[in-house]
Amino acid sequence: MLPILLDLGFVKIYTFGVFLVLAFFWGAFLLWKNIRLTSYKETDIFDGLFIALFGSLFLSRLVYVILNFNSFGFDILKIILINGYPGLSLYGGIFGGVISLWLFFYLKKIDFRKIVDYFVSPVFLALTIGKIGSFFSGAEIGTQTKLLLAVHYAGFPGSRHLTSFYEALLFAIAGYISYKLIYEIRKEKYEDGVAFVFMLWYISAVVLLFDPLYETHLIILRLNFNRTVSGVLLLTTSVYFLYHFKNLILKRSKLIIDSIKLYGTKNIARITKRSARKASSDKS
């Protein structure tokens, strides 16, 4: 992999840092496109974005450092230099960003539930680019595999899973779905906040699925931090969806059951007719 994108001697440009910058700018661009659909002031939204970005980076790095304290200790330079010593907690970033954004919009008297859905597709876009950066920089190492689709990392034996790349693909798909979901919410087909809950559900499912394919894990009190948080979030959001869409689920289930019954009835009728024809032919 390529941890250093460009070495100019007096300064080094790190691959992961470049992709973080790209993630921010492309995410901000998509957010701008989303906000143009609304009557909210762009200045308020982008002020909230920068506040959320600061809160996200701060808590994301803090959680990662705390859970990897043996590697960082109290070395301030190691903690600050994300490029040279990469590592961010996904859930630290999500919770830091959400809390900061909620506080900002609360002070601005803007309804958080009505605005947060417009941030979801930009978040997924940023995650996609960030995960691609993790893959190319070697910031996140996959476990060993015998699959043909694998990569080699310097300093690590054997072929490794393309875990970050897999996650990037899934986050890109989620970005498209959430972008389309905004228009359904604007048509009042779904209530405000559904896209945000979808984001939490989807991210927790992806992390729970792919975290075992990473070489290193964030551990707290002998528990895997990412899997524990993912399990709680996945269960909570699944219950929310079951409750929120219970009428739709029951309606669709009834249609499926009725279709099965109708299909079975038709088959029984066909079998009966065939039996009757066969019996009459045998008599003749």
Q: What is the pLDDT of residue 279?
A: 55
Q: Is the dihedral of CA 220, 224, 227, 231 positive or negative?
A: negative
Supply the pTM of this predicted model: 0.82
CA–CA dist 18, 4 (Å, integer): 10
Average pLDDT over residues 11-15: 78
Name residues whose C-beta falls within 8 Å of residue 34's C-beta, 6 or more positions apart in sequence.
118, 119, 121, 122, 179, 182
pLDDT tens for residues 98-139? Answer: 999 999 999 999 999 999 999 999 999 999 999 999 888 888
Calpha distance 212→158 (Å, rounded):
17
Delimit the domains of the chain by residue range: 4-244, 246-284
pLDDT of residue 216: 80
**Tell me, what DSSP letter sits at residue 82?**
T
Look at residues 47, 107, 66 and name the one whose alpha carbon lies nearest to residue 225.
66
Confidence of residue 36 (pLDDT cuts 50, 70, 90): very high
Q: Reduced to 3 states, what is the DSSP secondary structure of residue 89?
A: coil
pLDDT: which is higher, 11 or 161: 161
Percent of the chain predicted with pLDDT > 70: 86
